[in-house]
Structure 1
Amino acid sequence: MDSAKLCGFLTASFLLVTLLGDPTEACSCAPRHPQSAYCYSDVVIRGKFVALSKERVNISAGEPVWWMRHEIKTTKVYKGPEHMQDVRFLHTPAMESLCGYEHKSSLKGEEYVIAGMLDGDRVMITACSFIQPWAQLTPAQKRGLSSDYNKGCNCTIVPCTSLPCSVNSDNQCLWTDGIMSRIWDDFQAKRLACLPRSDNAGLCTWQSLSSQGPGSLRRTQ
């Protein structure tokens, strides 16, 4: 990793730990709809975690920094540069207090959908990355990853965290799954996408990702 980027990342993480006090509670993740995770990520893949190793990264000043390297077997690439059609490794900080991702399930087990960011040719993930078992995704979410989420990347999904809440632009959709229960993985996350209307590309609305095939998108009220 580039030394300047690494120093900046660690400095920001240190400030977060300092401000919040308890390092074990330093990583706080904002809610993110699967479509937002897809659109804001550089790489989105499906694959299996197969091995884990530790690597030391030297920076220009101070002690070397430890990172965890997850080896994966990629089975499908949904989004990524042309030269990265077979991602083999995912990199994350070794410390959970720096939002490092810890894979708690067994290796060489089930497939996961993984959304990450690029730093050069490295795919970076954190505890806040969208990493979900493939088998637990709904048919609508699987369709979104395969085709429809990409159509809505000019739209913006706005989480409603407290009432009252509203949107201030025609390209925004209000995400209300977590208002009452704080469980964000609900109807809008599981079955809908925020997409431009066919009759007005500048207006984004929630649309149902029907599993009936192409052309079966339905607008919701």
Structure 2
Amino acid sequence: MDLAKASKYLAASLLLFTLVGDTTEACKCASEHPQEAFCSYDVMLRVKFMESGRINNNFKIIKVYKGPEEAQDVHYVGTQTIPGLCEYHYQVDHTDEYIIAGELDGDTVWLSVCAFLKRWSWITPEQRRGFTSEYSKGCSCSIVWGHSEGSISSNECVWTYQRLPTNLRDFQYKHMVCLPQVEKGGMCTWKSLGTLEPGSFRKRRLTQ
């Protein structure tokens, strides 16, 4: 990892520790929309680990969704931890594939404490479409929590988790993308990945 990235990570970790104090609280991670993970990390890979247990370097890359050409040559997955603060060891199952996002440093992908690492079998068809083509179109937009609709800027989409009925709370996470709309002067709005119609909350599976 280069010095700039290392300094940024260390500063963020120390700030987190200073603000929270209790390391148990510090290790709690806020939910992250898949689009946020796609846009904020250097690489996003679909991999299959050959061994179960702690995350390890015995894996093969199935697909590169984001990253430079050299991402195909990644051989190592490292976890960024500070002794005594959030020393979490990711567990993997060799019977499933995983999608991971992290910072690229040579032939190593570094996973943060709150890394985006999900079983591929848990990823919805809509999210798979997002990783393949749609999330990259929304990286100029921001996804925000806890704002009223009237307080957001034109490049923000509100993640309305707490204001939705229980049966719809995961819908934006699993089925929607935040994209700029040309017809609205570039304003960012939610679109259903199943229908790609602005503001649609209809659940529709994609044709594979």
Corresponding position: 1:173 with 2:157: yes
Report the CA distance between 1:172 and its aligned residue.
0.9
The 3 A distance-change label for structure 1 pair 183 and 89 is farther
Structure 2 CA distance for aligned equivalents of residues 22 and 146 of structure 1: 39
What secondary structure sits across from 2:191 in the alignment? strand
8 Å contact from structure 1 (residues 207, 219) kept in 2: yes
Aligned position for 2:141: 155
Asked if 2 retains the 8 angstrom alpha-carbon contact of 1:26 and 1:97, the reply is: no
| TM-score normalised per structure 1 | 0.74
1:192 to 2:171 alignment: no
Q: Give percent identity, aligned residues only.
A: 45
Structure 1 equivalent of residue 63 of structure 2: 76
Task: For residue 190 of structure 1, give the secondary structure of its aligned residue in structure 2.
Answer: helix
Shift of 1:37: 0.8
Equivalent AA in structure 2 for residue 187 of structure 1: F
For 1:123, the equivalent position in structure 2 comes to 109
Residue-pair matches, total: 200
**Structure 1: tracts of 5 or more residues without a match:** 55-67, 211-215
Structure 2 residue runs of 5 or longer lacking an equivalent are 201-208
More helix by share: 2
Q: Give me the whole-angstrom Cα distance separating, in 2, the residues matched to 1:157 and 1:8.
A: 22
Give, in angstroms, the shift of residue 181 of structure 1. 8.5
Q: Letter of the 1:197 partner, please give it.
A: Q
- RMSD, aligned CA: 3.3
Specify the structure having the higher radius of gyration (Cα): 1
Is the 1:91–1:125 contact (alpha carbons within 8 Å) kept by the matching residues of 2? yes
Shift of 1:117: 1.5
1-structure distance, mates of 2:6, 2:56: 15
CA contact (8 A) 2:46 2:61 kept: yes
**Aligned to 2:136, what secondary structure does the other structure show?**
helix
TM-score by length of 2: 0.78
Which one has a larger percent strand, Structure 1 or Structure 2?
1
Matched, 1:133 2:119: yes
